[in-house]
Amino acid sequence: MNLIFKNAVIVDKNSPYNMQAKDIQVENGIIKKIDTVINDVGYEVISLNNLHISTGWFDSSVNFGEPGYEDRETIANGLDVAAKSGFTDVALQPTANPVADKQADIAFLVNKAQHTATALHPIGALTKESAGKDLAELYDMKNAGAIAFGDYNKPLADANLMKIALQYVQDFDGLVIAFSQDEKIKGKGVVHEGIVSTRLGLKGIPALAEELQIARNLYLLEYTGGKLHIPTISTARSVQLIKEAKQKGLTVTCSVAVHNLLLTDDVLEEFDSRYKVAPPLRTKAERKALVDGVLDGTIDIITTDHYPVDIENKKLEFDLAKDGTLGFESAFGALMKMLPLEVIVDKLTAAGPVFGFAGNTITEGVNASFTLFNPGGNWTFSRRDILSKSKNSAFLGQELTGRAYGIYNRDKLILNTAK
């Protein structure tokens, strides 16, 4: 595929062309030339309004439904939605049925996505069936293509098993993902414990439930060494604990979900289960601390934590509804409401190095892996903007700024022509 991207503003802090408008010539997946004007004879020209290009965005936490829950989302459609939302790479959580806890499960996922524009990188379950009792086949899954190991939204109660996992994966440079929530303190809580939960009569989840588990896991990491990733943190104290751990020299990274950066528990007034997520939406003060953590570098990654849920499991009484929200389609537009563009690009591309992939840049002679987007223009996110099979988006009705056009990756161009 021979293309020229016309008059594209390059957003890449590692590129000599950062924040400059250039033509980019690509031949068979390689950047051949970058210049102010390039003769486009014989090339397919990609010319889009206010076109900006960055290195490809990497989402560190996504869920599909295949195998087992294809009614929620298939791998093929999920990756197509990811591409049209600007993501060249996604890390897939082991939440299908069966849980991806064996070499064959990882091989199935890798094979399903061999020829897609968006690259799929499976996360293997840390414990068998994500049940928290015995370690899964970590080394075998690593050899099959698993990039990390974790039980999605399930904390590991057994501290000794977490210690053993952190020690064991060091033999093959593995990464442990530790969702942090003390289930005993959470109890039957469904939303953040505070003024809103009290007023609405909903059982609360104290911030302490997350913070205690993070503190424990960081102590274990300090004892064992190795690498730990703490996903989707949601409290100010969590940010501080991780900041202090990094200052000690521990190899720890963390992420925050887009919805926890943008929304607070104030949206719960209508008992709308679209806002039931894990960890829960918290207060304005907690949200501000998360934004500050992104800006000061404590939080490494911003993730969509994309989780399609079928209507039978979502449109229920709030207490009974399944946690989770869609995230792909609204992610960029939501982030542009609160963060500078270069920070957004930095945090959406940071997952690659965390998971062991070399960073890319936009310069001549390298493989072309781009996200195409327009950072300008306000619009309201509606149901027709949802490309996923499920429709459980917490961002419906939100005014957003900017849109992703799509991606160029693996010598494939995918654009969202519905825009």
The SS3 of residue 84 is helix
Can you give the pLDDT at residue 356? 94
* CB atoms inside a 10 Å sphere around CB 110: 17
* Cis peptide, bond prior to residue 206, ω within 30 of zero: no
Closest residue by Cα to residue 122 from 97, 101, 153: 101
Can you give the pLDDT at residue 418? 65
Can you give the pLDDT at residue 215? 98
Can you give the pLDDT at residue 72? 96
Annotated active-site residue 134? The verdict is: no
In the structure encoding, which two tokens stand for residue 243, read together? 């900041």
The SS3 of residue 346 is helix
The SS3 of residue 122 is strand
Catalytic residue among 12, 23, 105, 305: 305
Pick the CATH number of 57-354 from 3.30.230.10, 3.20.20.140, 3.30.110.40, 1.10.10.10: 3.20.20.140
CA distance 307 to 388: 10
Can you give the pLDDT at residue 379? 97
CA distance 8 to 83: 19
CA distance 79 to 81: 5
CA distance 408 to 83: 9
Q: Mean pLDDT of all residues in the chain?
A: 97
pLDDT in tens, 52-67: 999 999 999 999 999 9
Can you give the pLDDT at residue 233? 98
Closest residue by Cα to residue 307 from 58, 94, 87, 101: 94
CA distance 71 to 79: 15
What integer is the mean pLDDT of 211-215?
Answer: 98
What integer is the mean pLDDT of 79-90?
Answer: 98
Residue 172 burial (C-beta neighbours within 10 Å; 0-12, 13-18, 19+): exposed
* % of the chain surpassing 90 pLDDT: 98
Asked if residue 419 has pLDDT above 60, the reply is no
Taking the complete model, does pTM exceed 0.75, yes or no?
yes
pLDDT in tens, 279-293: 999 999 999 999 999
CA distance 102 to 128: 8
Predicted confidence band at 359 (pLDDT cuts at 50, 70, 90)? confident
Predicted confidence band at 358 (pLDDT cuts at 50, 70, 90)? confident
Closest residue by Cα to residue 205 from 262, 125, 149, 286: 286
Phi, psi of 205, rounded to the nearest 5 degrees: -110, 110
Predicted confidence band at 417 (pLDDT cuts at 50, 70, 90)? confident
In the structure encoding, which two tokens stand for residue 25, read together? 């010539």
* Cis peptide, bond prior to residue 67, ω within 30 of zero: yes
* CB atoms inside a 10 Å sphere around CB 295: 13
pLDDT in tens, 373-395: 999 999 999 999 999 999 999 99
Residue 238 region by backbone torsions, left for phi larger than 0, else alpha for psi between -120 and 50, else beta: alpha
Asked if residue 111 has pLDDT above 60, the reply is yes
